[in-house]
Amino acid sequence: MAKAVVADYAKGKRYNEAQLAKRLDELVMQYRAVEEAPKVKSIWDVSSLDIYNAYPRRVAKTAALKAIGKAMMGWPHDMLLERTEAFKEATDKWPEGDRKFIPHPSTWFNNEGFDEDPKEWVRKSDEQLKQERREAKASEPTNYEVF
């Protein structure tokens, strides 16, 4: 605020005490208006936040938003949001023990995990794995010939 008054002084503007008080009040009001304004840097911040909130594991927010912003430079927002939601749906079906292996969002976006085949995101449940093992064991030959 004082800088504005000094700048006025440098331009030759002189204030008496009442004018100086009025000018400082104006500057305080302008400062408060700026401080109360919402702090959104750009539209990318809001879009990145939508994608971050759709991701199944919300950790390391600053790094994640940076990685999402980087991914948005080369990929459309709608596609990223759609693939992130699909990844969340896939990981919701993972066995409970496997959910700890969901990558951090910054890792997933930096490695372009959204561009992978969604079939790669599907994990089999413990019951499905046990059933497959039983079937494989049942189809093994029981009589081994020695050559």
- pLDDT tens for 23-71 read 777 877 776 765 554 554 554 567 788 888 888 888 888 888 888 888 8
* pLDDT higher than 70, residue 135: yes
Is the CB of residue 105 less than 8 Å from the CB of residue 55? yes
**Predicted pLDDT at 5:** 57
Residue that wins the pLDDT comparison between 105 and 134: 105
Instruction: Quick: pLDDT tens for 70-91.
Output: 888 888 888 888 888 998 988 8
Query: Which position has the higher pLDDT, 143 or 27?
Result: 27
Alpha carbon 118 to its chain's center: 19
Give the pLDDT of residue 43: 47
* pLDDT exceeds cutoff 60 at 6: no
pTM here is 0.56
Give the rounded percent of residues in the chain with a pLDDT score beyond 70.
Answer: 72
- What is the structure's pLDDT at 40? 46
Mean per-residue pLDDT of the chain: 76
pLDDT for 3 equals 62
Rounded distance between C-alpha atoms, residue 69 and residue 49, angstroms:
10
The pLDDT of residue 21 is 77
The per-residue pLDDT for 141 is 64
Nearest residue to 71 via CA among 107, 122, 102: 107
